[in-house]
Structure 1
Amino acid sequence: MDLTGPSPLALLDEAGTAFVNRIVAAARGYLGAYVSFLTEVVGNEKVIRYVDGPADAFGLPVGARFVLEDSYCHRVLQGTIPEAIYDVRHDARALAIPLTQVLGIEAYMGVQVSAPGGRALGTLCCVNFDGDPSRRERDLGFMHFLAGLVGAQLEDALHGIERRRERHDAVQAVLDAGGPRMVFQPIVSPATAELVGAEALARFDAPTHRGPDVWFREAWDVGLGVELELAAVRNALPALAQLPPHAFLSINASPCTIADPRFIDAIVGVASERIVVEITEHAVVEDYAPLVDAVARVRRAGVRIAIDDVGAGYASLRHVLWVAPDIVKLDMSLTRGIDVDPVKQALASGLMAFAARTQFMVVAEGVETAAEADALREVGVRFGQGYLFARPGPLLH
């Protein structure tokens, strides 16, 4: 990732850009200036990056370029003219600058804006205002304060870019090493102790305290989400050979990963009728058509579909309605303490009635106590997963 592009201002996201625009507007408002703007020195030119006021009429639109040697900006940075000139007519140095006549500059105030690292980026300027020279110190103090805020915003942006690069490199290192290590948690029938399947769960051995959920979230943030999920899927599939022939292997994948052609390629020909794909997307899906199409392609390969974390929020329930899964997994927030919570019992009972009509299998996640297992069985849940039965770990031969 290149952090040394031509403009540090390019590091700013939408919120950062809006913030700098407000700073430029604040400068204009404070001085009552006709126009205010932020310049950047690029090579031998001064480039207008941000403007507040009738810039086009004044000849200072965003993107306008001027010869640096002929600009106020250059002379301020060089220290050859003062930062504040309240009446250009009485300053011979300002009158000698070509832009004074070209732009009709009558009063000028400009202060240095520093890029990350301390080098001069350009200037924050105001032109043509009715100012009182006796307020020079206070006016310049406020302008320097505003310029400092711009510099701080750039520092924050650079820090964010560096942090993003660190996360990218960490995820890439996991991928280069072959992807995450996989552990497996059994899915059983509590009534018979029969193993019906196992969920593959990713683990990361890097020297960090981040959990798997953080690793995957950061992978998505840096554009490597699909790659990391595919690596986990590929590392999980060999476990099918270690499971009893009647047991399924449950693997996690987001809608984007399911839609990726590499996902189908990974599971085709690998006893796909024994694979269950758990859709793990927690955010609301705005357009279900791509997800429904992707699920249909996966199902044609013989794979079953599960919806994870049902009962935890609105998103998972929408997934159930749109995808019509083969398996629904009750979130541990619904399972935990269900033996002493009538509301949870009623909700689970309602989901079981829905399951009976739509003919999908229900698995309760996060079962930790025998009392919870008994309460779930009373409302009709036949399959469970959790510490009561086994913690995630390697499959036993």
Structure 2
Amino acid sequence: MTGIIGVLSVNIVESVQLSEIFGDEAARQAMADFGEAADDLLTRLLAQHAVIDQYGSAADRRWAACFRVLSDGLPRDAREVAEAIEHAGRNLIRESLLAVFGGATGARITADLSVFLMSPETGERDVKACWTQWTEDQLRSQPQRHVADQAGSSTDVTAILTDRCIQTYLQPIVRVSDRAVVGFEALSRGPEGSPLERPDRLFDAACAAGRTVDAELLCAELALERTKDKLPPDAFLTINLGPDALTLAADKLALAGRPEVMIELTEHLPLNEAEGFVEVVNRLRTLGIRLALDDTGCGFADFDTVRLLRPDIVKLCITVIRNADKGSHFMAAIRESAERLCKLGCLVLAEGVERENQHAALQGCSIELAQGWLYGKPEAVESVLR
């Protein structure tokens, strides 16, 4: 437990003239439906934390929850937890807008999803009396980053997916003890020199266009094609898929005969949703495909998720490893987390290792694998496997 209290706020900032489009009654119902979607979103994003109080009003077009940040023993920083919640929420709220209001109208509605952290000295009793007004003050005083469709993104994404204009990069994964390369993570970028070359922009645009799953499956398909029979002996390959794409992987991807492939689950799920993926993961294992759990420690993945899905590799996220060289307190927490994961039968991988002192700090911590710029930056697949 960090002792920090935060607020997650969802606000329809500017809507199209819904009454003119749907009629008054249908517009009210649509906003009520979005309110239910917003409540579900708050519940999903805060599943690992302790909700103190909640507010929702379709008339005000605003929904919010006050929560205490919990850590489950992982060496998390409250600010980084808040950023992870906000990042995931900004993608998910797009899906809610499109689902409730339709692809055309939903894409034209702007909304704001923000996470604010209160002062560590704020007591829970004080919070209950003032948190809604405090949140309004924060929203007024900070510049808003509205969630809206990107101009032209749907057309651009459709063209990229149709023409299969995805670049595949590989980043090495090493053994901590001797830095030997034992595997690679497949990463994807948009067309070289285009506005969507950066992966964050590519997938943000795919999300805004409602094509996230299509984009993830195409990236995985191309990574499989471009690495088949070309990896070094005994090297494994991790391929990133979100939960929706993961459910389709066994049917949509050429995974048979690829025992070196490991699927990396990249969006972290509250436990009540992760339970539905046990059968999906087991089916992949019958094909010889293993599972890695990405970014454990800064998203939704926690020890309960690990116990349920039994991944072969658990990747401690960069926000955890960033603290590896910051003193004995952080190092003890990382060591304890790694030992708990090893007892669950997982290999532990440290992501985002950038400095020699971070690598040195990982020695003797039950962390067998590592990845980061210290060992190698992502390079085009053709260069790596030439």
Q: What pairs with 1:1-397 in structure 2 (closer than 5 Å)? A: 49-50=23-24, 159-160=108-109, 163=149, 166-205=152-191, 207-208=194-195, 211-237=198-224, 238-260=226-248, 263-269=250-256, 271-282=257-268, 284=270, 286-394=272-380, 395-397=384-386
Q: Provide the C-alpha distance between the structure 2 equivalents of 1:382 and 1:288, rounded to a whole number of angstroms.
A: 26
The question of whether the paired residues in 2 share the 8 Å contact of 1:277 and 1:304 is answered with: yes
Report the Cα offset of residue 265 of structure 1.
4.1
The Cα RMSD (Å) is: 3.2
Report the Cα offset of residue 258 of structure 1.
1.1
C-alpha spacing 1:290/1:341, structure 2 compared with 1 (3 Å): same
What letter corresponds to residue 244 of structure 1 in structure 2? P
What corresponds to 2:94 in structure 1? none
Task: Name the SS for the 1:321 alignment partner.
Answer: helix
Task: Name the SS for the 1:273 alignment partner.
Answer: coil
TM-score by length of 2: 0.59
C-alpha spacing 1:157/1:244, structure 2 compared with 1 (3 Å): closer
The question of whether the paired residues in 2 share the 8 Å contact of 1:179 and 1:228 is answered with: no
The question of whether the paired residues in 2 share the 8 Å contact of 1:308 and 1:316 is answered with: no
The question of whether the paired residues in 1 share the 8 Å contact of 2:196 and 2:202 is answered with: no
Q: Provide the C-alpha distance between the structure 2 equivalents of 1:336 and 1:289, rounded to a whole number of angstroms.
A: 30
Report the Cα offset of residue 376 of structure 1.
0.7
Task: Name the SS for the 2:319 alignment partner.
Answer: helix
Report the Cα offset of residue 396 of structure 1.
3.6
The question of whether the paired residues in 2 share the 8 Å contact of 1:309 and 1:316 is answered with: no
What letter corresponds to residue 217 of structure 1 in structure 2? D
The question of whether the paired residues in 2 share the 8 Å contact of 1:181 and 1:204 is answered with: yes
Task: Name the SS for the 1:389 alignment partner.
Answer: coil
Task: Name the SS for the 2:288 alignment partner.
Answer: coil
What letter corresponds to residue 230 of structure 1 in structure 2? L
Report the Cα offset of residue 322 of structure 1.
2.3
Task: Name the SS for the 1:278 alignment partner.
Answer: strand
The question of whether the paired residues in 2 share the 8 Å contact of 1:179 and 1:231 is answered with: no
Report the Cα offset of residue 272 of structure 1.
2.3
What is the percent sequence identity of the aligned residues?
28
Q: Provide the C-alpha distance between the structure 2 equivalents of 1:323 and 1:352, rounded to a whole number of angstroms.
A: 17
* Gap regions ≥5 residues in structure 2: 1-10, 26-104, 111-147
For each residue in 1:111-149, what CA deviation from the matched residue of structure 2 results, as whole angstroms up to 9, or x when unmatched? xxxxxxxxxxxxxxxxxxxxxxxxxxxxxxxxxxxxxxx
What letter corresponds to residue 320 of structure 2 in structure 1? L
Q: Provide the C-alpha distance between the structure 1 equivalents of 2:275 and 2:230, rounded to a whole number of angstroms.
A: 36
For each residue in 1:163-217, what CA deviation from the matched residue of structure 2 results, as whole angstroms up to 9, or x when unmatched? 4672221211111121421100000113223211000001112521673123223
The question of whether the paired residues in 2 share the 8 Å contact of 1:179 and 1:235 is answered with: no
* Matched residues, number: 256
Q: Provide the C-alpha distance between the structure 2 equivalents of 1:175 and 1:198, rounded to a whole number of angstroms.
A: 24
The question of whether the paired residues in 1 share the 8 Å contact of 2:236 and 2:262 is answered with: yes
The question of whether the paired residues in 2 share the 8 Å contact of 1:306 and 1:327 is answered with: yes
C-alpha spacing 1:159/1:368, structure 2 compared with 1 (3 Å): same
Higher relative contact order (CA 8 A, sep 6+): 2
Task: Name the SS for the 1:388 alignment partner.
Answer: coil
What letter corresponds to residue 369 of structure 2 in structure 1? F
What letter corresponds to residue 164 of structure 2 in structure 1? G
C-alpha spacing 1:291/1:373, structure 2 compared with 1 (3 Å): same
TM-score by length of 1: 0.57
The question of whether the paired residues in 2 share the 8 Å contact of 1:352 and 1:381 is answered with: yes
